[in-house]
Amino acid sequence: MELSRQIEEYLEAIYRKEKKGENATTKEIAKELNITEASVSEMLRKLAKNGFIEHTPYGHAILTVKGKEIGKNILRKHRIIEKFLTLIGVKRKIHEEACKLEHVVSDDVEKRVRNVVLKAELKKIPLTLLENGEQGKIVEIKNGAKASQRLAALGLTKDTIITFTKSAPFSGPVKIIVRGTMLALGRGIAMKIFVKRV
């Protein structure tokens, strides 16, 4: 069975569910991929027939070793592409763009993109590139004067240590801890705060 973009999307969606400890039911997959449950049921039968998942009618899909490897690889590509797009200044629809690119980027190109991202991460990076639980020291804020003043009032100034706690999906806010206080920042603002990992 040829690995089409559609198949990869399904395997990635199921892998995401499994990674979170959630059941990949027909209803949940349909919701995540924004398609009908009938279409999901049909694809799950095909995936099971070709050894990518184990599935019973009205049950949930479980990835086989083969399916899990593909889902894991696609998700890894997605995340590194999101980081790369942020790094080069893309500000809108990063998730959607990564969804398109993850299916056409070869393993060799992904490796080179990852190297670029890793080198950049050794230097200052946008706050949004931190992983959950990681700490960073603010080294630069590229907002205007008024925005910088508002951030300063929240305790976000140069050399302040922050802890990245959560990133909402797509273009939603990010949550950080500053001096023991939880703050939610718009992604646009957070992308203009540059930190070095500590």
Give the start-to-end residue ranges of the domains of the chain. Answer: 1-122, 125-197
Q: Find which of 54-58, 128-132, 170-174, 180-184 is predicted with most confidence, using mean pLDDT.
A: 180-184
Query: Which of 22-26, 63-67, 144-148 is predicted with the least confidence, judged by mean pLDDT?
Result: 144-148
* Residue 169: predicted pLDDT: 62
- Topology of the domain covering 1-122: Arc Repressor Mutant, subunit A (1.10.10)
d(Cα 168, Cα 164) in Å, to the nearest integer?
12
* Residue 89: predicted pLDDT: 78
Distance of CA 138 to the CA centre of its chain: 22
* Structure tokens, 62: 């479980």
Alpha helices in the chain (DSSP H): 5-19, 26-33, 37-49, 65-87, 94-101, 107-121, 145-153, 187-190
d(Cα 68, Cα 35) in Å, to the nearest integer?
22
* Mean per-residue pLDDT, 13-24: 92
pLDDT classification of 118: cutoffs 50, 70, 90: confident
Q: What is the DSSP letter of 122?
A: T
* Residue 35: predicted pLDDT: 93
* Residue 146: predicted pLDDT: 79
Q: What is the DSSP string of 170-185?
A: TT--EEEEETTEEEEE
* Residue 2: predicted pLDDT: 61
* Residue 162: predicted pLDDT: 93
pLDDT classification of 92: cutoffs 50, 70, 90: confident
Helix (H, G, I), strand (E, B) or coil at 128: helix
* Residue 37: predicted pLDDT: 92
d(Cα 40, Cα 111) in Å, to the nearest integer?
32
d(Cα 94, Cα 88) in Å, to the nearest integer?
11
Query: Which of 23-32, 77-86, 93-102, 124-133 is predicted with the least confidence, judged by mean pLDDT?
Result: 124-133
* Residue 11: predicted pLDDT: 96
Among all chains, which residue has been given the structure tokens 């919701």? 31
d(Cα 174, Cα 183) in Å, to the nearest integer?
8
Q: How far is CA 121 from CA 79, 117, 163, in A?
A: 14, 6, 16
* Structure tokens, 140: 């630069």
User: Could you confirm whether domain 125-197 is CATH 2.30.30.90?
Assistant: yes
* Residue 1: predicted pLDDT: 53
pLDDT classification of 171: cutoffs 50, 70, 90: low
